[in-house]
């Protein structure tokens, strides 16, 4: 029986867990017998300190209670794109040279310019005999006008969320298997990712080779709207609260952000621009 190694990670170094379960042997080739299968699930912008896991009992039950919590895990650049590139390359950000979320110091274009598209995890796994699958958000700047310049290497099958519409919960743009990108009006983003993940998992099990599947929904990241004309100006990017699926809207009506010492400090002890921000309210 080939094991499946199931991993859950979260950017901002919030949650990490691993569990091992037996599964139907996906490899009919003796040369691959004993090679584990991998499913890697990564949430976006989830912070362990804000007790979000209190509202996700299934995540806790299946990933944390049955897996491993890494108590000491350090991220050299704890923002989105550099963290994702480090996870996919095994290198710290000062070695990938991807240190920001957008050009010229980060984003998909920087990932390509640094020659990393041929030197990262899915490429190595394919060289080791694996089928590789990806669904969800790859990294910042992987967009409708750049996803094919060039295509992300190393994936047997893929469906990527694409900027600048990655963070729209009910009308995300996606591209399936390096085809033409499409929009998904009225479809909840996480449901799209879940459905495609199950399809890819079925393909992987039937494929006769060991497999690696990444599932990267963008939840619970804020819904982010980019205004093209003013994107690099103050107010050019609009951040709204995460949007629940309609079937979940009634849940957690009384939930609130924990009132830690850093919540609405009278005199911010960090960067000066915080002095100019409005106090947070229940709304």
| CA torsion, ordered 21, 22, 27, 32, to nearest 10 deg | 70
For the entire predicted model, the pTM comes to 0.85
Alpha carbon distances (Å) from 110 to 82, 131, 214: 10, 26, 22
pLDDT tens digits, one per residue of 190-231 = 999 999 999 999 999 999 999 999 999 999 999 999 876 555
Give me the torsion for CA of 229, 180, 177, 166, rounded to 10°.
20
Residues in the chain: 283
H helices present in 38-188, as ranges: 57-59, 80-89, 93-96, 108-113, 121-127
CB 123 within 8 A of CB 153: yes
pLDDT given for residue 258 in this prediction: 85
CA distance 201 to 212: 9
pLDDT by residue (tens digit) across 108-147? 999 999 999 999 999 999 999 999 999 999 999 999 999 9
Q: Which ranges of 156-253 does DSSP label H, i.e. alpha helix?
A: 189-206
Residues near 199 by beta carbon (within 8 Å), at least 6 away in sequence: none
CA 178 to each of CA 136, 210, 212: distance values in angstroms, whole numbers, following the listed order: 13, 22, 18
Q: How far apart are CA 243 and CA 265, in angstroms?
A: 27
Say which DSSP state 212 is in.
Answer: E
Mean pLDDT of 165-191: 97
Tokens describing residue 90: 């095994």
pLDDT in the model for residue 267: 73
Peptide bond into 146 cis (omega under 30): no
**What residues are labeled active site?**
80
Q: What is the pLDDT of residue 78?
A: 83
């Amino acid at each position: 029986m080939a094991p499946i190694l199931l991993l859950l990670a979260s950017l901002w170094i919030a949650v990490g867990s691993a569990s091992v379960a037996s599964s139907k042997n996906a490899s009919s080739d003796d040369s691959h017998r004993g090679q584990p299968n991998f499913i890697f699930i990564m949430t976006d912008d989830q912070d362990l300190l804000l007790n979000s896991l209190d509202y996700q009992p299934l995540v806790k039950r299946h990933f944390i209670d049955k897996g491993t919590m890494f108590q000491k895990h350090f991220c050299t650049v704890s923002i989105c794109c550099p963290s994702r590139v480090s996870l996919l390359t095994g290198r710290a950000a000062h070695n990938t040279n991807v240190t920001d979320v957008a050009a010229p110091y980060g984003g998909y274009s920087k990932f390509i310019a640094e020659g990393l598209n041929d030197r990262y995890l899915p490429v190595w796994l394919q060289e080791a005999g694996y089928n590789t699958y990806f669904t969800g958000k790859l990294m910042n700047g992987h967009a409708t006008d750049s996803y094919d310049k060039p295509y992300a290497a190393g994936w047997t099958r893929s469906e990527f969320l694409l900027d600048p519409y990655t963070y729209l919960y009910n009308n995300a743009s996606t591209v399936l298997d390096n085809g033409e990108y499409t929009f998904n009006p009225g479809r909840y983003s996480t449901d799209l990712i879940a459905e495609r993940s199950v399809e890819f998992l079925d393909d992987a099990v039937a494929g006769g080779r060991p497999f690696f599947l990444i599932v990267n929904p963008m939840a619970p990241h804020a819904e982010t709207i980019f205004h093209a004309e003013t994107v690099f100006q103050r107010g050019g990017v609009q951040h709204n609260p995460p949007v629940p699926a309609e079937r979940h809207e009634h849940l957690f009506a009384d939930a609130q952000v924990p009132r830690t010492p850093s919540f609405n400090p009278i005199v911010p002890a960090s960067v000066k621009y915080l002095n100019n921000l409005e106090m947070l309210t229940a709304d």
